[in-house]
Structure 1
């Protein structure tokens, strides 16, 4: 059973186990508008997440069914994102063109600067989230809440958006399916998702803590 808060939207929000907001941050409306323009330039599907809605304008997009299964929620179809630009917790560009999305990530980071965080959470998802908050700041917030040092925290990840939490945690474990630059910044590398890498990572953490 979950008893600790969780950090949706790449750690830029904190919610309790019942999904009630503890801390919420939004993307500045101007940055949200600019990010939509850039995603359109690169031909990515646009998804906008508010605190309680997943908004899309292309129900036939390649990853809509995948996301429905992942988050166990249905999207709200809109023809115009404008009314929601001032209440965006996260904006996602979804694209099957991995190289194009990597280029889009770079363009987005250059265009937005410190106005928002733009980083890929999958090879096919580019996430734009509120500035100054990421998985690393979430780790720090949770460590403070628990009264422990970040050096005592272990994190597991496989994508660019996990690097922020790797940088602040004492033990960082990259999945075997992670990109090389993610593996390079981890203290340990485990097997891939398909080869029970998560179970292997948990065993590593338990052994480190003298359990099992």
Structure 2
């Protein structure tokens, strides 16, 4: 079954560390020592295997040995094809940013969202989402917290024309530098045909009708 949703586990208003001061005193809040999640049992029924199940509680232990518990729940952030701000998430586009349409004239909406990276730039946060499709597509969605819930407020495709586009964007991660790192796939590409030292090498500029 193909994936069609962007989702998250919501954590309600956790203050990880910080301090406050006044003219008479300086009060340091405790630092986090450990995070632990309540266990999630393995699925044993078909019904359990068809739904998203997450830990229902996060326990934060601080360095002064105090603890605090936070309820967790599964939330759908967006569904492919949703209108978010001025864009439609998952809408496949060409090199000019124009919508790609199917044979019947309908818009081509991806059903393969994959890797995500939550990136902080300036005073805003963005979710970079890979579409595991041909041609390659990435979406850039601004998110913010409202009433203790992460919400998507605007989305648009990433312009990849300067690099000639991408293909089948799969896994991704946020780097230690705060940037996005993504990987491509090409199921039909076989490197043994591109390696000049391989006995299977093919010169693509001089292929015969039999190649």
Say whether the fold is shared (TM-score over 0.5).
Answer: no
Q: TM-score range by the shorter chain?
A: under 0.3
Q: Which structure is higher in strand share?
A: 2
Structure number with greater Rg is 2
Q: Which structure is higher in helix share?
A: 1
